[in-house]
Amino acid sequence: MVVDPELLEKAKAAAESLRQAELNAEMAKADYHHAVRLLHLGGATLREVASELGTSHQRVQQIVVAAGGSWWSQVWRNRNARPDMTCTFCGLPSSAVSKLVAGPKVFVCDGCVDKAERTELTTPSRGSRARCSFCGKRPTEGQLVGANGAWMCPGCLGQVRDIMDAEPEIRSK
Ligand SMILES: [Zn+2]
Ligand SMILES: [Zn+2]
């Protein structure tokens, strides 16, 4: 059997451009999902996001759930903010911090997120079975940071940072 070198070259080039196109599509998809997630984190309901984007409620829900669900919320300057909410990591009340993000039974303030990013918080002792207080997962040893018995994994830290960075106008209708 003879392989035509010219056709082979064409096939290789086509395979390469397909690979590039697939890569670009993956990146565009990740950008799109990220943007949808930010809209929702910013306070827009799934239904509002879906109708603005001309897509289905179910589709938006899939995207949000794939990104960890919708239990995240920003609690500063919104009707969910209560004076008795305190940062689980440093103990400061919501009135004493500029931003506070709520997880399942945990709160984290902007100051503690800054510290977590600078790895200025503590890490669990070696061999500890600590889990992330936000997602409940136990990442590779050495990746959790925290204080006061509350822990955060790198993924959740990124998510909290996204919420804190979300422009206020995103959540206005
Ligand atoms: Zn704090
Ligand atoms: Zn986590």
CA 92 to ligand 1 center in whole angstroms: 6
Q: Are 92 and 86 in contact (CB under 8 A)?
A: yes
Q: What pLDDT, on the 0 to 100 scale, is given for residue 39?
A: 83
Query: Could you tell me the pTM of the whole model?
Result: 0.61
CA 129 to ligand 2 center in whole angstroms: 14
Ligand nearest to the Cα of 93, by number:
1
Q: What pLDDT, on the 0 to 100 scale, is given for residue 173?
A: 35
Tell me how many domains the chain contains: 1
Hey, is 124 helix, strand or coil?
coil
Q: Is residue 18 part of a domain?
A: yes
Q: Is the pLDDT of residue 155 over 50?
A: yes
CA 113 to ligand 1 center in whole angstroms: 7
Q: Is residue 65 part of a domain?
A: yes
Q: Is residue 56 part of a domain?
A: yes
Q: Are 40 and 55 in contact (CB under 8 A)?
A: no
Among 51-55, 72-76, 91-95, 120-124, the minimum mean pLDDT is found in: 72-76
Residue indicated by tokens 């950008």: 31
Q: Is the pLDDT of residue 104 over 80?
A: no
Q: Is residue 104 part of a domain?
A: no
Q: Is residue 161 part of a domain?
A: no
Q: Is residue 131 part of a domain?
A: no
